[in-house]
Structure 1
Amino acid sequence: MNSIASASNYKGVLYAMVTAFLWGFLPIFLKVALKDIDPISIVWFRFSFAFLVLFIYYLITDRKQLNIIKRPPLLLIIAAIGLGVNYIGFLKGLNYTSPSNAQIIIQSGPIMLALAGVLFFKEKLNLKQMVGFGIAGIGLFLFYRTQLQTFIHDTDAFNLGFFWVELAAVTWVLYAVLQKKLVQQHPAQVLNMVLYGIPALIYTPMADFSAFQGLDFKTWAIVIFLGVNTLVAYGSIALAFKYTEAYKVSIIVTLNPIITLITMSILTYLQVSWIQPESMTLYSLIGAVLVIGGAVTAVFFSKAKKEKALAVQKEVSK
């Protein structure tokens, strides 16, 4: 039995790592795609691609699951709108700042989600979690102030980028809180199908379809990767919750900015021409470490009831 549990745990960790890597590389590919395609059109493609794959899958394997499209729950509609704003907010923020900056700023999302657990799910906040929140808050302030100084000639753009990414973080928390409630009543991938479909429908009138005409092979490959990223990352995290504890998944996924920071440092060192190099001071890096460390601390020392976590995992695995 122990070997089976161990194998299951490894599977969960592996799936969580897949999500972390995909989300770690995501802002870099988004930044490159923004050179040729506007933010709304990119978001429309990502949602449409992911929705169509899941729709076709259930059309072939289990058509009764498509009934949720006819009358989706109100909370699911609100969650979908929240996720739609999250995608466009993060992408617009990337327009004004760098991938690493966006990844550090967006870490306020997991922190706010933990606080939402206290407010909406009556989870108890312990001292170690409060220390984690404090560390992350200090780190975010230090990171913001230091990076703002590096953008001395374009502080308005940096502040606008900060605003959009923070909006993305807030709306992601709205989506996550509602998803946590909905997953107790519906299979996770069925919910994802609707969560992708509603924003795709909303953004269709605003998408510039002509932007996709004349794209070269490299850009098309990037755009398709962005669609696959949406589908695989959210699918992997659902499987991760199935095979291992929720707190382990949260910790692994929260570390995804490290992947972005390392990758961007390598690209800056190589002086590649296809993405703008990043500039980070020692204080910026200290702030980034504090943000990530504080977020991980807050997640790790969460003491929500184990039975509730297991119940959520069981529903996610359906």
Structure 2
Amino acid sequence: MTASNRSASVYGSLCCLAVIALWGIEPLFMKVALIEFDSYTITWFRVAGAFLLMFVARANLWASAPRAFLRHFWGVILSGCFLAVYFYAFVKGIEVGGPMTAAITIQIGPIALALIGFVFFHEKLIRVQIVGAFIAILGFVVFFYSRLSGVEEAQFQLEAVIIVSIAAISWAGFCVGQKIIGATIGANLLNFITFLFAALLLFPIITYPRGEQLATWSFAAIVYLSVSTFIAYWALGEAIRLLPVSIVSFFITLNPFVTIICVQILLWLGNDFFEPQPLTFYGYIGSCMALLGVAGATLRRR
């Protein structure tokens, strides 16, 4: 490996780690934002803020956006709808069931994407993917059983699982749009257009913040989420550009471990705001099986 290749690998690895860290702690900031704002408003500010940062950082994309939108009209609309539903349902799932349930359940998305690739795009599955998918499914069953076993929380946890499952399927739909349309116009331009469309789609139903809400930690959390979303998607693009996609996918699916570790540290410190229901022994076993299984299911031949 040459010095330039080594530097590129190190840089790509750092970008990958940045995505893992940012996505891992985002559920905690969403929980803070939910103190003052509803899920629609949080989602809109997050999407609109990320779009504005894209507009400033990649102003050259604006000239190509109208033509690309008209050329792929229905595909862009569907991608924007999937993106809006994904962001909204994930925040709503955190509101109902907490960060840990949402962080694990959203990993249904990569499994759904692998299934879509196999059925509709005729992608070949290697043995490790098949084994990983079965391990992930078994892990989800164990994890969900542990979360639904508490009588008081069962209804909320079940509702959260359903909502975040919708988010996961929507994420898979957005990724299909990335595969089909992004291959033609580029992922950056597609993100630029879909984030704008998602922001316009959500705008009529948001609750406008009151003046005093702008000086709260909740609004600060929303600002952070906008910046974090922009940086994470940029870092993800850099990681994919410099590293094999299979390696990036493998490590990205492990980001819920960051969420779980952060929540558990807070619980040990006596802070149960973020997650009043800690993981049980079977919850740990199920989450580890699910995440490692999903990581295996996303591996591809180089």
TM-score range, shorter chain: over 0.9
For the Cα contact (< 8 Å) 2:239–2:248, is it kept in 1? yes
What is the distance in 2 between the residues matched to 1:211 and 1:134? 48
Assess, with a 3 A threshold, how the Cα gap between structure 1 residues 211 and 194 changes in structure 2: closer, same or farther.
Answer: farther
For the Cα contact (< 8 Å) 1:143–1:287, is it kept in 2? yes
Assess, with a 3 A threshold, how the Cα gap between structure 1 residues 214 and 55 changes in structure 2: closer, same or farther.
Answer: same
What is the distance in 2 between the residues matched to 1:136 and 1:70? 37
Unpaired runs of at least 5, structure 1: 307-318
Per the alignment, in what secondary structure is the counterpart of residue 265 of structure 1?
A: helix
Deviation at 1:114, TM superposition (A): 1.4
Per the alignment, in what secondary structure is the counterpart of residue 210 of structure 1?
A: coil
What is the distance in 2 between the residues matched to 1:107 and 1:92? 16
For the Cα contact (< 8 Å) 2:53–2:227, is it kept in 1? no
Deviation at 1:63, TM superposition (A): 4.8
Deviates more, 1:267-276 or 1:183-192: 267-276
For the Cα contact (< 8 Å) 1:40–1:207, is it kept in 2? yes
Deviation at 1:130, TM superposition (A): 1.2
What is the distance in 2 between the residues matched to 1:48 and 1:270? 35
Q: Match of 2:41? A: 41
Deviation at 1:155, TM superposition (A): 1.9
What is the distance in 2 between the residues matched to 1:45 and 1:123? 37
Q: Match of 1:139? A: 139
Assess, with a 3 A threshold, how the Cα gap between structure 1 residues 280 and 274 changes in structure 2: closer, same or farther.
Answer: closer
What whole-Å deviation, never above 9, does each CA across 1:297-318 have from its counterpart, x for those lacking one? 1123x23xx4xxxxxxxxxxxx
What whole-Å deviation, never above 9, does each CA across 1:31-81 have from its counterpart, x for those lacking one? 11111100000001011111122223444x465234347626121221111
What is the distance in 1 between the residues matched to 2:235 and 2:179? 16
What is the distance in 1 between the residues matched to 2:279 and 2:98? 11
Deviates more, 1:166-175 or 1:291-300: 291-300
What is the distance in 2 between the residues matched to 1:22 and 1:115? 27
Deviation at 1:183, TM superposition (A): 1.9
Q: Match of 2:187? A: 188
For the Cα contact (< 8 Å) 2:37–2:218, is it kept in 1? no
What whole-Å deviation, never above 9, does each CA across 1:74-104 have from its counterpart, x for those lacking one? 2122111101100111111111111111111
Per the alignment, in what secondary structure is the counterpart of residue 64 of structure 2?
A: helix
What whole-Å deviation, never above 9, does each CA across 1:145-187 have from its counterpart, x for those lacking one? 111013x113221111110000000010000011012221113
Unpaired runs of at least 5, structure 2: none
For the Cα contact (< 8 Å) 2:68–2:185, is it kept in 1? no
Per the alignment, in what secondary structure is the counterpart of residue 214 of structure 1?
A: helix
Q: Match of 2:128? A: 128
Assess, with a 3 A threshold, how the Cα gap between structure 1 residues 141 and 5 changes in structure 2: closer, same or farther.
Answer: same
What is the distance in 2 between the residues matched to 1:245 and 1:178? 21
Please show how residues 211-250 of structure 1 align to structure 2 within 5 Å: 211=210, 213-250=212-249
After TM superposition, the score normalised by the length of structure 1 is 0.89
For the Cα contact (< 8 Å) 1:90–1:102, is it kept in 2? yes
Per the alignment, in what secondary structure is the counterpart of residue 153 of structure 1?
A: helix
Tell me if 1:172 matches 2:171: yes
Q: Match of 1:264? A: 263
What is the distance in 2 between the residues matched to 1:130 and 1:51? 37
What is the distance in 2 between the residues matched to 1:293 and 1:18? 20
What whole-Å deviation, never above 9, does each CA across 1:164-221 have from its counterpart, x for those lacking one? 0000000100000110122211132221111111111011110001356433253332
What is the distance in 1 between the residues matched to 2:210 and 2:147? 33
Q: Match of 1:200? A: 199
Per the alignment, in what secondary structure is the counterpart of residue 183 of structure 2?
A: coil
For the Cα contact (< 8 Å) 1:102–1:165, is it kept in 2? yes
Q: Match of 2:148? A: 148
Deviates more, 1:61-70 or 1:38-47: 61-70
Deviation at 1:284, TM superposition (A): 0.7
Deviates more, 1:287-296 or 1:269-278: 269-278
Q: Match of 2:51? A: 51
